[in-house]
Amino acid sequence: MDDSPWLDDAEQRAWRRTAAVMTLLPAALDAQLQRDAGLTQFSYLTLAMLSETPGRTLPMSALAATVNSSLSRLSHVVARLEQQGWVTREPSPESGRVTVARLTEAGMEKVRETAPGHAAEVRRLIFDALDDEGVSSLACVTAAILGRLDPAGGMRANPLSREAHPDDDRSATG
């Protein structure tokens, strides 16, 4: 734990930049979504993940896992989304203790109209700044870091292996 606590110069440089990006990038993306759609990045992601799921339906805990949040956070957010009429909650017929969240048609429409602008902003802020090599560096580095975060999550078919399922519907992700 304190075997080698300090960072060398290269690491320090990398860390400071990373910290700055972690502050500014989410703020910028949130600002765009707030301005254009009145949504948080998190609530948008929640809608988007539902929109990509066959049946547009997921149990709360599955949804929580795909958006990397606690159940508590998700519960609060879905309550708000439900009030807006974008999501409904119903007890699962299969098990008395699971609640499934379902994206309504209005919610789907919201995603459809929000996605292009958000995708454009992601492109503008990230990918316009990177060449192909940059993109693959980013993928590598983030994969490596993800491996150390939430190692449990890393185990259960890491949250990214959605690449593996038929995911051609680009309507939502960005």
Partner DNA sequence: TGCTTTGGGTTGAAGCATCAAGTAAAGTGG
Partner DNA sequence: CCACTTTACTTGATGCTTCAACCCAAAGCA
Residues 94-123 that bind DNA (CB under 7 A): 95-100
**27 or 135: CB nearest DNA:** 27
**97 or 165: CB nearest DNA:** 97
Return the one option of DNA, a copy of itself, none that residue 75 interacts with (CB less than 5 to 8 A, by type).
DNA
Write out the residues near a copy of itself by the rule CB under 8 A. 1-2, 4-7, 9-26, 28, 45, 68-69, 116-117, 119-120, 122-130, 132, 134-150, 153, 159-160, 162-163, 170, 173-174
Return the one option of DNA, a copy of itself, none that residue 22 interacts with (CB less than 5 to 8 A, by type).
a copy of itself
Q: Does 74 bind DNA (CB under 7 A)?
A: yes
The alpha carbon torsion through 3, 143, 72, 94 (nearest 10 deg) reads: -130
# binding residues, DNA (CB under 7 A)? 31
**39 or 172: CB nearest DNA:** 39
76 within 8 A of 40, measured Cβ to Cβ: no
Query: Which amino acid belongs to residue 173?
Result: T
Return the one option of a copy of itself, DNA, none that residue 157 interacts with (CB less than 5 to 8 A, by type).
none
**Residues near DNA (CB under 7 A):** 27, 31, 34, 40, 42-43, 59-62, 64, 69-80, 89, 92, 95-100
